Structure 1
C-alpha cells in the first residue's frame, strides 16, 4: 500500500491528474491505498487457500496472481483517461504486483519445503 501510494504521489507531483473521464472525478491518493490494501488481502486469501488445497501452492499462486494482474490492466486502458493518467494507472497496477507476488510465493515455498 505504501509503495503504491508513494508512486501515485510521485506521479501527481510530475503532473498526472488521475482524472477519470466519466464524471470528471479525480482519484484521491487515499483511494490508491484502500484499493491496494483490499486486493492485497484478496491475494493473501488466495495464497492461503492454495496453501491448504493445492499440491503446488507457490506455482499455482504465481500463475493465478499474474493472470489477475494482467486482467487488472484492462480497465485503465478502457477508461478513456489521458495518456499520462492511463500510463500511470498501468504502472500503479504493477507496483503492488511486483511486491506482493514474489513475497507471497516465497512464503508458500518456505512453508511447503
Structure 2
C-alpha cells in the first residue's frame, strides 16, 4: 500500500481572521493616534498644517483608512505571495518610511512635524505586527 502526500501551503489563518485582526488593529491604532495627537495638543504642540488646524479625529480617520489598505495588501499577499509575512513586513515598513516624507517637508513647525511622524510610527507599531502574525511565514 502506498500513501500519497499532497503538499499544500499552510497558512496561520483564514482571510476572515486576517480581516478581523486587521480591523481590530485599525481601531486600536486609530484610537492611539488620536490620543497621541490630543496629548500633543494639550502639551502645546500645534496641530496646524499650512495654517489649517488638523482635527484630532482626522488622525483617527486617516489611520483607519490606511490601516485598512494594509489589510487589503495583506489579504492579497496571503493569496499570491510565496512568503506573505516576510513580504508584508518589508512592504509596510517601506510604506511607513515613505509616509514620513510628507511630514518632513510639511509647512509646519518642528514639533508639529515630530508629532505627525510619531503618529505614523505608533500606528505602524500596532498594525504591522498584528497583521503579520496572521500571515504564513
Question: Does the TM-score normalized on the shorter chain lie above 0.5?
Answer: yes
Q: Look at both structures and tell me which one has the larger radius of gyration over its CA atoms.
A: 2
TM (normalized to structure 1)? 0.92
Structure 1 residue 80, shift from structure 2 partner: 2.2
TM (normalized to structure 2)? 0.77
Structure 2 residue ranges without an equivalent (≥5): 1-29
Structure 1 residue 35, shift from structure 2 partner: 0.2
Segment drifting more, 41-50 vs 75-84: 75-84
Aligned to 1:10: 39
More relative contact order in 1 or in 2 (CA 8 Å, sep 6+)? Answer: 2
Q: Is residue 100 of structure 1 aligned with residue 100 of structure 2?
A: no
Spell out, residue by residue over 1:21-52, the C-alpha distance to the aligned partner (whole angstroms, 9 max, x if none): 2xx11000110011000000000000000000
Structure 1 residue 17, shift from structure 2 partner: 1.2
Q: Is residue 48 of structure 1 aligned with residue 75 of structure 2?
A: yes
Aligned Cα RMSD in Å? 0.9
**Structure 1 moving runs of 4+ over 2 Å:** none
Structure 1 residue ranges without an equivalent (≥5): none
| Higher share in helix | 1
| Cα distance in 1 for residues equivalent to 2:86 and 2:100 | 22
Aligned to 2:97: 70
